Amino acid sequence: MGHTVALPDLPQRIISLVPSQTELLFDLGLENRIVGLTKFCIHPKPQVKQKAIIGGTKNFRFDAIDKLHPDLIIGNKEENYKEGIGQLQQRYPVWMSDIYTLDDALWMMQQVGQLTGTEAKAQELIQGISTGFKSLQPAQALISTAYFIWRKPYMAVGSHNIIDYMLQHCGFQNTFADLARYPEITPKQLQQANPKLILLSSEPYPFREKHVAEFQEICPQALIKIVDGEMFSWYGSRLLHAPAYLQQVVEEVKQEL
């Protein structure tokens, strides 16, 4: 993003502004050096409860951050907001990731490992994730797929984001890949697109089984499934578990279509 982050020593007071990167920091063994995180940082469950909350991913509580005296803040271009990050950069070292692909995520892990002196553990994670994704067998015939992240209004996944990348990796052809990153979709647009598969994410909107009928009315012929949004969109150490989950989704879809 054009910023240089200079750290005279290994950081001892780290704040994470992104849930998936928070989990990564814990998995790198940095629990004792993490002082603050967002209210959306829910993994690992027992440990995050012990840390100070500094607001949300897009509304920081600067007073809470100042009290923690961080010597490193870690964020992400998409998940955080420009004005807030700019304000923090005036006072603290702020390192930002910008992630669209698996390679971007692995590079982020390598960089965070270097920043925090946990290169060996980061390399171990990278190796495990790389091996897992190499073994993932996509659906042979491309399956036209719409992936929804929000309701009222309906919002789907477009191009140029990690979820689109994961869909491609599974052999699911993103119906709305020609649109902006997270486009609003009307029922009529969805009906006209007529995807074979509709995936309803568990986050950020908590789609449940009760919403399946709503989409089935719009696309009666489509297969509609609720999926674990963390497995499609979290780009930290949770990627270790993603290939097995994605493979399971692929196999279920192949059987049910």
Phi-psi region of 172 (alpha: psi -120 to 50; beta: other; left: phi over 0): beta
**Which phi and psi (to 5°) does residue 242 adopt?**
-65, -45
Name residues whose C-beta falls within 8 Å of residue 210's C-beta, 6 or more positions apart in sequence: none
Q: What is the pLDDT of residue 6?
A: 87
pLDDT at 167: 97
Check residue 77 and give its pLDDT: 96
Q: How many domains does the chain have?
A: 2
SS3 state at 15? strand
Is 2 contained in some domain? Answer: no
Does any domain span residue 29?
yes
Kindly state whether residue 8 falls inside one of the protein's structural domains: no
Task: Note the pTM of the prediction, 2 decimals.
Answer: 0.94
User: Same structural domain for residues 157 and 118?
Assistant: no
User: For residue 208, what pLDDT is reported?
Assistant: 94
Confirm whether 9 is domain-assigned: no
Q: Is residue 156 part of a domain?
A: yes
- Residue 127's identity, in one-letter code, is Q
Q: What is the pLDDT of residues 185-226, one digit of tens each?
A: 999 999 999 999 999 999 999 999 999 999 999 999 999 999
Contact of 244 with 132, CB cutoff 8 Å: yes
The two tokens of residue 45 are 């469950």
Q: Would you state the structure tokens that stand for residue 101, as one six-digit string?
A: 């692909």
* Shared-domain flag, residues 103 and 153: no
Q: Are residues 123 and 170 both part of a single domain?
A: no
Structural domain boundaries enclosing 39? 14-133
> Helix (H) and strand (E) counts for the chain?
11, 10
Q: Which helix (H) or strand (E) holds 174?
A: strand 172-174
Q: Are residues 50 and 86 in the same domain?
A: yes
Same domain for 123 and 150, yes or no, is no
Q: Which amino acid is at 62?
A: F
Domain contains 104: yes
Residues 153 and 205 reside in one and the same domain: yes
Distances (CA, A) of 128 to 53, 106, 122, 230: 31, 11, 10, 18
Conformational region of residue 117, where left means phi above 0, alpha means psi within -120 to 50, and beta covers everything else: left
- 155 and 103 share a domain? no
Domain-embedded: residue 4: no
Q: What CATH number is associated with residue 170?
A: 3.40.50.1980
Rounded distance, CA 96 to CA 152, Å? 31
**Do 101 and 200 reside in the same domain of the chain?**
no
Rounding to the nearest 10 degrees, give the CA dihedral for residues 173, 174, 176, 179.
Answer: -110
Ranges of residues in the chain whose predicted pLDDT is under 70: none
pLDDT value for 180: 86
DSSP H helical segments within the chain, as ranges?
A: 19-27, 45-48, 62-68, 82-89, 102-116, 119-134, 162-170, 187-193, 212-218, 229-233, 242-256
Instruction: Indicate whether 57 belongs to any domain.
Output: yes
Residue-level pLDDT at 221? 95
